[in-house]
Amino acid sequence: MTFSVTQNGKPLSKDKYTWDPKTKTFSTKENDLVLDFTGMNGVTFNTGGGCTFSTGGGCTFNTGGGCTFNTGGDCTFNTGGGCTFNADGWCTFTCEENCFVTRWDVKGVTEIPEGKTIKLRGYGVEGYDEVKPHVIVIDGKEITLSEESYEELKKSLS
**pLDDT value of residue 1:** 67
Q: Is residue 89 part of a domain?
A: yes
Burial state string for 74-95 with b = 16 or more CB within 10 A and e = fewer than 16: bbbbebbebbbbebbbbbbbbb
Q: Is residue 137 part of a domain?
A: no
Q: Is the distance from CB of 61 to CB of 53 less than 8 angstroms?
A: yes
**Each residue's pLDDT tens digit, 9-36:** 999 999 999 999 999 999 999 999 999 9
Domain span holding position 50: 4-132
Number of domains into which the chain is organized: 1
Indicate whether this model's pTM tops 0.85.
no
Whether the per-residue pLDDT at 8 is higher than 70: the answer is yes
Q: Is residue 30 part of a domain?
A: yes
Residue 139 — φ and ψ, nearest 5°? 50, 40
**pLDDT value of residue 128:** 92
Q: Is residue 151 part of a domain?
A: no
Q: Is residue 141 part of a domain?
A: no
**pLDDT value of residue 25:** 93
Q: Is residue 99 part of a domain?
A: yes
Residues forming a β-bridge with 69: 53, 85
Q: Is the distance from CB of 114 to CB of 93 less than 8 angstroms?
A: no
Task: Residue 29: count other Cβ atoms within 10 Å of its Cβ.
Answer: 10
Alpha carbon distances (Å) from 118 to 38, 89, 155: 25, 12, 22
Residues 149 and 78: their CA atoms lie apart, in Å, by 16
**pLDDT value of residue 85:** 83
**Each residue's pLDDT tens digit, 95-150:** 888 888 888 788 888 888 888 888 888 888 999 999 888 888 999 998 988 777 88
**pLDDT value of residue 20:** 95
Q: Is the distance from CB of 47 to CB of 33 less than 8 angstroms?
A: yes
Q: Is residue 143 part of a domain?
A: no
**pLDDT value of residue 55:** 86
Q: What is the mean pLDDT of residues 48-76?
A: 85
